[in-house]
């Protein structure tokens, strides 16, 4: 993919790129829809990456192209936000967010093997690869966490998706065979070794191929319900509440708002419990927490779909330690922690059950917890 990025750049622009940078997609082990509620999340970078070949220009024009389409998108770096540029809003949005550091324009070409719409944050991989590259090319001097925040700013203010900070932080800070515990209130992070490979375990991704979009209304309505719940409970965010507050919350909130808030509050507890389970090597407890997380997203937050529920059920029937949907919901993928030797059986069983129910054939593959944004060439 490194060479593909360079070749694509040469074909699109007719000269050699300065270098190639990359950033991973991410899978979230546990902690869903807690990030924008100032809670805890526990994602890891995956060994599916977005690569960008890039070179600076002598003017302030930014051009981006990719293997997605033949089209080259162009925008002049300024205070005016880029608009109506399809997928190019992600990288150009980052350039807009970094515009104060912009000494020049640039040409960029992207290639990626992060599945789009699968809940593996293909968008953050684009944002972090180009942000990491521009930080070096423009000598911006930003930290990895600052680049992550600018990627989130691009997604919120240019793309229009009201996402939290988890995806970009994971893509920037990830390390091999570890997950990143992120406190989304303080932005403090802790790398926690997973130790899966020495136990013969892998994280299997079951991509339902039902695409989702964060800018659609379902995500926004969930966020608004959380904000309403926090307001009624007189706190700045749901992070300030614990499970002991649920008795009072149930009396004050309508049923839907209460269940949305209950998911977030209990999910924060599950994230911290999952970290402790990993540190103590208690994989059975970790599995229980993953299943409880999925049930909460299915029943309280109502963001699962039948395909995701089926994937989780099949994974457990094949012998997974635990399984849950991952990502924003309304489609995308589920993950399962399972023995490497059972991966093929999982794929076979999942495809068989999806076919029996008339669903689109899923894509099942293993991912390894992998390194964050880096310079490749």
- In which residue are the tokens 């880096």 written? 374
Q: How far is CA 198 from the centre of its chain?
A: 25
The CA distance from 361 to 41, in Å, is 30
> In which region does residue 281 sit, left (phi positive, over 0), alpha (psi from -120 to 50) or beta (all else)?
left
Clarify whether 167 is annotated catalytic.
Answer: yes
State the Cα–Cα distance between residues 113 and 278, nearest whole angstrom.
29
Taking CA atoms, 12 is separated from 6, 61, 131, 148, 342, in Å, by 10, 15, 21, 28, 43
Task: Give me the catalytic one of 167, 177, 183, 309.
Answer: 167
| Contact between residue 183 and residue 41 where contact means Cβ atoms under 8 Å apart | no
Q: Checking DSSP bridges between strand 178-183 and strand 322-326, what pairing results, if any?
A: unpaired
CA 94 vs. chain centroid, Å, equals 16
Residues acting as catalytic residues:
167
């Amino acid at each position: 993919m490194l060479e593909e990025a360079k070749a694509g750049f040469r074909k699109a622009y007719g000269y050699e790129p300065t270098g190639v940078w990359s950033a991973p997609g991410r899978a979230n082990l546990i902690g869903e829809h807690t990030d924008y509620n100032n809670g805890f999340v526990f994602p890891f970078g995956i060994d599916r990456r977005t690569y960008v070949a890039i070179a600076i220009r002598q003017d302030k024009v930014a051009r981006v192209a990719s293997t997605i389409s033949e089209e080259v998108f162009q925008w002049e770096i300024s205070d005016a936000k880029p608009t109506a540029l399809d997928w190019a809003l992600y990288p150009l949005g980052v350039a807009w967010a970094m515009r104060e550091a912009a000494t020049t324009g640039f040409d960029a070409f992207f290639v990626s093997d992060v599945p789009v719409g699968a809940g593996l944050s293909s968008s953050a991989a684009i944002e972090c690869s180009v942000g990491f590259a521009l930080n070096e090319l423009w000598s911006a001097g930003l930290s990895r966490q600052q680049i992550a925040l600018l990627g989130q700013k691009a997604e919120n203010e240019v793309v229009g998706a009201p996402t939290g900070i988890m995806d970009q932080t994971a893509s920037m800070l990830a390390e091999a065979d570890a997950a990143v515990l992120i406190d989304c209130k303080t932005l403090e992070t802790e790398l926690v070794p997973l130790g899966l490979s020495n136990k013969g375990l892998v994280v299997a991704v079951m991509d339902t191929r039902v695409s989702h979009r964060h800018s659609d209304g379902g995500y926004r309505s969930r966020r608004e319900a959380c904000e309403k719940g926090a307001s009624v409970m007189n706190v700045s965010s749901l992070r300030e509440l614990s499970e002991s507050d649920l008795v009072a919350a149930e009396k004050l909130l309508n049923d839907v708002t209460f269940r949305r808030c209950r998911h977030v509050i209990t999910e924060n507890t599950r994230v911290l419990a999952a970290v402790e389970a990993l540190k103590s090597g208690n994989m059975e407890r970790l599995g229980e927490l993953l299943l409880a997380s999925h049930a909460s997203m299915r029943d309280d937050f109502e963001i699962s779909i039948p395909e995701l529920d089926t994937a989780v059920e099949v994974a457990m029937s094949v012998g997974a330690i635990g399984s849950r949907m991952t990502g924003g919901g309304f489609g995308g993928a589920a993950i399962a922690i399972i023995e490497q030797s059972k991966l093929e059986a999982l794929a076979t069983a999942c495809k068989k059950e999806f076919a029996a129910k008339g669903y689109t054939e899923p894509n099942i593959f293993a991912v390894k917890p992998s390194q964050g944004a880096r310079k490749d060439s």
